[in-house]
């Protein structure tokens, strides 16, 4: 698309212009304007301020209020997410609430029920 979309007012390809010899200094014909070098300043003359320090206009108080509002909103989101967990979420919460002994007892009951079912199946087959 390069030549189709370009206008004649565009600059020509930089490789078609004559170049300079390797090792020669930079060309001054297209020198871009440079920003002035800043004067030396004594940075240690003014003490820095600590994070969270107010700068006189009460902006630190505003950030504390914003933080508190964000924390309250996050707490409300967490509470609403835990309240609407549905059927599987309720089962998971009940499982997490079990103690170690209760969990082992439940596993033991499940295994006993499986063994009883296997024994009943063997009795039906007359083994």
Residue-wise pLDDT tens digits, 74-89: 998 888 776 667 888 8
Share of the chain above pLDDT 70, in %: 65
The total number of residues shown for the chain amounts to 127
pLDDT, residue 60, reads 55
Enumerate residues 6+ apart whose C-beta is below 8 A from 105. none
Other Cβ atoms closer than 10 A to 89: 13
pLDDT (tens digit per residue) in 19-50: 777 777 666 656 677 888 877 776 666 666 67
Distance CA 78, CA 66 (A): 18
- How far is it, in rounded angstroms, from Cα 86 to Cα 47? 57
Query: 106 CB contacts (<8 Å, ≥6 apart)?
Result: 98
* pTM, to two decimals: 0.30
Q: Is the pLDDT of residue 101 over 60?
A: yes
**Residue 108: pLDDT band by 50, 70, 90 thresholds?**
very high
What is the structure's pLDDT at 52? 64
* Residue predicted with more confidence, 106 or 34: 106
* Closest C-alpha to 29, from 38, 41, 19, 37: 19
């Amino acid at each position: 698309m390069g030549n189709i979309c370009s206008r004649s007012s565009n600059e020509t390809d930089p490789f078609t212009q004559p170049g300079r010899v390797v090792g020669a200094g930079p060309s001054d014909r297209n020198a871009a304007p440079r920003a002035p070098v800043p004067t030396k300043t004594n940075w240690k003359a003014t003490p820095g301020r600590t994070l969270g320090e107010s700068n006189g206009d009460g902006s630190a108080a505003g950030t504390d209020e914003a933080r508190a509002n964000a924390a309250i909103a996050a707490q409300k989101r967490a509470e609403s997410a835990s309240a609407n967990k549905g059927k599987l979420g309720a089962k998971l919460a009940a499982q997490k609430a079990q103690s170690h002994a209760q969990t082992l007892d439940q596993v033991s009951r499940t295994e006993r029920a499986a063994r009883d079912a296997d024994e009943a199946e063997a009795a039906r087959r007359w083994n």
